[in-house]
A and B are shown apart, each in its own frame.
Chain A
Amino acid sequence: MAHHREHASETYFLQAEAWSAVRNSLALIALVSWLALAAGYALDRQQFHFSYLVAFAFFASVSLGALFFVMLQHLTGSAWSVTVRRLMENMMRAVPLAFLLVLPVFLGVHSLYEWSHAEAAKDPVLSAKLGYLNEKWFMLRGLIAIALWSLFALRLYAISRRQDDSGSIEHTRAAAKWSAPGTVVLFLTASMAAFDWIMSLEPHWFSTMYGVYFLAGGAVGFMAVLIAVVLGLRSAGYLTQSVREEHYHDLGKWLFALTTFWAYVTFSQYMLIWYGNLPEETFWFHKRLQGSWAAFGPILVIGHFLLPFFTLLPRANKRNIKLLGFFAGWMTLMHFCDLYWQIMPVLHTKGVALHWMDAAAWLAVGSAYGLVFWQGLKEKPLVPVGDPRLEQCLAFHNV
């Protein structure tokens, strides 16, 4: 069933040797980086936990971005995105990995979160919120959130895989049915996770926008990684017929739109706190202006917004595969910078202090997510071959 749908000149399956080669490199990276992290844990536990949290937040947000986008495609009945949806689904499939990878965060509660210290009970502000910010509830909320994400991610993945063989429209309907409540659950739990995992690093501080900020950043990170994966496969000779200029042009539009949305959210949050000028809110930004941290603000304004905004605005640039590929890498870096800037000033209050574990943790967590992602491409089609919208997608043209 699956095979006759293939484009005449193109295979939807990765070559076994190529697949193994990538898997082996990922496994090697994983081995080295996790060993290095283990050593780092012994050397500097506090640094380990902070570096690790940045990496975990990065990949968790990217996989949640994938979950959101898969659901969005089902809800809107998108045809243009069918040929890239399986790659999104494989990124989404890595969501349950968080069950395992959140454990170092739980282990590090005392290193990371001031509210877990005994002195918090004496702090008049913190003592008033310890009913929420305490270890037991923190972990329970995290596990419930991950369980719910996993439920929807695995369900949607299974439905899509089943459609590969059946080609039945029933699966399209089922995916849309799961996506509607899934989106609601995702927004509620992911913003809760953002409050817990990142915002509560500064437990005196609060911002109602923070959940949206986290999701917007995750969406940018996800789109950047997706484009990098798509273009990577294309340069290896795969998907060249099914992901044409028209399709990556649309991915470029999304990267542009999400970057702009991120800027809108970030600017609104900053401007309102700056304008209000209340010390109980401004201290969060003030901390991020100390020493060399002050450089991060301009880096984010220019690198995370102005540069991609003006470069990706013209149509021709989004259809320029080299430029788009550059921005896929660049926005991945910027998403990392954004999270780094949110998390790391809590540890290094005087200024930026780069540490080798920042890179090691990113590689460690990233290679773990990468292995799960890559496993999904083994002997399985790169596109949802049974999707009834596939033909429409292959014929798609931007007007």
Chain B
Amino acid sequence: MADLAIDPRMELNPPLVQGGMTYSDVTDKISSIVEGKAPKQWWIAMAVAVPLALLLFACLGYLVTTGIGVWGNNSPVGWGWDITNFVWWIGIGHAGTLISAILFLFRQKWRTSINRAAEAMTLFAVACAAIYPLFHTGRPWRAAYWLFPLPNELLHMWQNFRSPLMWDVFAVSTYGTVSALFWYVGLIPDLATLRDRSTTPIRKTIYGLLSLGWRGSATQWRHYELAYLLLAGLSTPLVLSVHSIVSFDFATSLLPGWHTTIFPPYFVAGAVFSGFAMVVTLMTLARWIYGLENLITMKHLENMCKVMLATGMIVGFAYGTEFFIAWYSANQYERFIFLNRAFGPYWWAYWSMIACNVIAPQFFWFKKFRTSIPAMFILSIFINIGMWFERFVIIATSLHRDFLPSSWGYFSPTWVDIGTYLGTFGLFLTLFLLFLRFLPAIAISEVKGVLHQQVSAPHGVPAHGGSH
């Protein structure tokens, strides 16, 4: 890093691609992941992920054929791990859209090396999330009638539009659709690159079909960039809306600990927090396995650590505000629920949450930790755990002690709960590994865009300058 101090412009605009990579180096490097043989680590990861994904299908099959009683849900804890996992997975999905839409609008060029993989994670996380409410209905083949305003003679029912659970269906399905479109539009030029580099007819046909006849002409690029900007604009409110509406699932109720006005922005911040943690966990691994150090530089990783620090502080701020206002409200139920959270039977979950979400990210105040791969890998896992505990704490502690002590209970997961959760991990990882194997994991054309704009290019890379 010593050379950065020599030229201040390098510090102000650090190069986003390092190692003197040229345009063709970028194409070769990223395409080689798809074109070459899968490394050993990929096969090992697949060997773990696929059986877990199969476990998911086994657990779901058992659930459907037996009933949702196989989960630990009880009265009063009618929402257990299912909704916890739903919210957790949806949250994981937030980094993708934030990176691709909001950071795009904020002209944060460093997003280009990580947006593709983060967007893929969004899609897979949404798929995992959707499983839980769908199967919580017990009869998923009828869920469409409960969830969508479809006329039905069989059930004689009309959907409850006042229910935020219903808003969730619209919010999540819109989010999934727009994210998928955004991801795919971004992929098109890169798919064409893979098509043009194909050496076998099968690859050429498949990538050729997927790239929708992309030729890279000026007109195509102009339309493409406009479409990208519009999709970014459309996705931006979705980043906020999805998790706000997820928070409404809780906050519209009258339950102490759920009914609080700060929930929407607090949930959004938490979602971004967990989403970035998952991106860091997986991208540090992918970077190491595929040797992507020149494309996903320390600057990228450090920026992600800063985002985790910022969103982690917002989450901590929300915990503090909730606790304070519970006392300030002078409402005995509010005061009880928060003391019960911290010192009741779920104290271990509460303090795990505090340790992982509030204390762990504090290390990111120090550059030493922000630029250490092992440190950020471990801390990102802590944050993933902490954000799971956050949802569990919100759900279980508010439910398990109802207003009457005769309606007090305790939630314990069954092996099906645990198996289903591990199973969604398997599904998520399987899909992500397949993505790494068959699609360009880094946006080739966008990285070339920032290579072109680098103010002072190191090591003899032709600097085209920011000539606008």
Contact = CB atoms under 8 A, between A and B. Distances in A.
Contact of A191 (B13, B106, B321): B321
B408 interface: no
B293 interface: no
Contacts of B365: 180
A392 B328 contact: no
Interface string A303-334: 00000000000000000000000000000000
Contact of B317 (A188, A273, A399): A188
Contact of B322 (A172, A208, A388, A399): A208
A77 B262 CA distance: 29
Interface string B195-212: 000000000000000000
Q: Is the interface of A mostly helix, strand, loop or mixed?
A: helix
A269 B261 CA distance: 5
Interface residues of B, number: 38
A184 interface: yes
Contact of A184 (B260, B313, B321, B325): B313
A399 B109 CA distance: 13
A127 B244 CA distance: 35
Contacts of A278: 254, 259
Given A180-B365, A265-B265, A268-B261, A187 B317 contact: yes
Interface in A343-399: 388-389, 392, 395, 397, 399
Nearest to A79: B12
Interface string A271-312: 111011010100000000000000000000000000000000
Contact of A272 (B106, B261, B466): B261
Nearest to B254: A276
B321 A211 contact: yes
B219 interface: no
Contacts of A264: 240, 244, 264-265
B261 A195 contact: no
A137 interface: no
B328 A132 contact: yes
B252 A212 contact: no
A169 interface: yes
A208 B321 contact: yes
A209 interface: yes
Contacts of A276: 252-254, 259
Contact of B261 (A188, A273, A389, A392): A273
A128 interface: yes
A275 B317 contact: no
A377 B320 CA distance: 40
A397 B265 CA distance: 32
Interface in B315-337: 317-318, 320-322, 325, 327-331
A209 B12 contact: no
A278 to B, nearest CB: 7
A125 B264 CA distance: 27
A188 B331 CA distance: 23
Given A128-B330, A265-B265, A280-B331, A272 B251 contact: yes
Contact of A209 (B261, B314, B317): B261
Given A272-B251, A389-B12, A125 B466 contact: no
A305 to B, nearest CB: 13
A10 to B, nearest CB: 21
A272 B248 contact: yes
A126 B330 CA distance: 8
Contacts of B313: 184, 187
Contact of A195 (B13, B264, B328): B328
Interface in A68-85: 76-77, 79-80
A5 interface: no
B8 interface: yes
A206 interface: yes
Contacts of B260: 208, 272
A129 B328 contact: yes
A160 to B, nearest CB: 16
A399 B318 CA distance: 36
B263 interface: yes
B222 to A, nearest CB: 12
Interface in A98-130: 124-126, 128-129
Contacts of A208: 260-263, 318, 321-322, 325
B11 interface: yes
Interface in B432-468: 455, 466, 468
Contacts of A191: 317, 321
A104 B466 CA distance: 53
A275 B317 CA distance: 25
Interface string B240-275: 100010001001111000011111110000000000
A341 B59 CA distance: 55
Interface string B1-44: 00000001101110000000000000000000000000000000
Nearest to B8: A169
Contact of B12 (A77, A126, A128, A269): A77
A184 B311 CA distance: 11
Nearest to A250: B107
Given A169-B11, A276-B254, A268 B264 contact: yes
A362 B248 CA distance: 38
Nearest to B264: A268
B134 to A, nearest CB: 25
B262 A212 contact: yes
A376 B455 CA distance: 34
A25 interface: no
A187 B315 CA distance: 12
Given A129-B330, A208-B321, A268-B244, A395 B468 contact: yes
Nearest to A213: B261
Contacts of B331: 280
A209 B263 CA distance: 8
A187 B11 CA distance: 29
A184 B8 CA distance: 28
A207 interface: yes
A268 B265 contact: yes
A76 B325 CA distance: 32
Nearest to A270: B261
A276 B248 CA distance: 11
A188 B251 CA distance: 23
Contacts of A272: 248, 251-252, 259-261, 263
A275 B251 CA distance: 9
Given A208-B262, A208-B322, A265-B265, A388 B12 contact: yes
Contacts of B466: 395
A206 B325 contact: yes
A268 B248 CA distance: 9
Given A264-B264, A265-B265, A268-B264, A125 B330 contact: yes
10 contacts: A188-B317, A206-B325, A208-B260, A208-B263, A268-B264, A272-B263, A275-B252, A278-B259, A389-B12, A395-B466
Given A169-B8, A184-B313, A208-B261, 8 more contacts: A188-B317, A191-B321, A208-B260, A208-B325, A268-B244, A272-B252, A278-B259, A395-B466
Report, nearest first, the 3 A-B pairs whose CB atoms are least far apart: A208-B262, A209-B261, A128-B330
Interface of A: 76-77, 79-80, 124-126, 128-129, 132, 169, 172, 180, 184, 187-188, 191, 195, 206-212, 264-265, 268-269, 271-273, 275-276, 278, 280, 388-389, 392, 395, 397, 399
